[in-house]
Structure 1
C-alpha cells in the first residue's frame, strides 16, 4: 500500500509542479499535463495545478503514515 501511495504522490506532484511551471513561464506547447487536457479548466489551470500539488502532499503524508502502521 505504501508503494502505491508513494507512486501516486509522485505522479500528482510531478503533474502539479510541471503544469504550474509551464503555466507561469508561458513557454512551449502544452504537450503533457493533466490540467491542459481537461476542457472545463481552461481559465483555472494554475489553481488546478496548485490543487494537484496539495493533493500530492496529502497523499505523501498518508503514505508515510501507512508505512508506520504496518508491522
Structure 2
C-alpha cells in the first residue's frame, strides 16, 4: 500500500507550524487557567509578561489560520 498523495514542502511546513501553534497555545491556556498540562514549556518564553492569556489565544488563532493556508496551498498544488 503506497500513497500517491504528494504534499508540497511549504504545505508540510505550514502543517507542522499549525500543530506547534495550536498545541502550544492550547497547553499554555490550560496551564494559565488550571495550572496543569504545561506540555510545550518553551512557549512561555515567547509570550510577554502580563499578556499570557491573550498571547496564547493569538497563538491558537494564528495556528488555525496557518493550517487553513496550508490546506489551501496543498489543495491548489494537487490540481
Bigger Rg, which one: 2
Which structure 1 segments of 5+ residues have no match? none
**TM-score, normalised with respect to structure 2:** 0.76
- Larger relative CO (CA 8 A, sep 6+): 1 or 2? 1
TM-score, normalised to structure 1, is 0.83
What is the root-mean-square deviation in Å for CA atoms of aligned residues? Answer: 2.2
Return 5+ residue gaps in structure 2 as ranges: 1-9
Question: Does the Cα contact within 8 Å between 1:18 and 1:33 map onto a contact in 2?
Answer: no
Instruction: Looking at secondary structure, tell me which structure has more helix per residue.
Output: 1
Cα distance, 1:27 vs structure 2 = 4.1
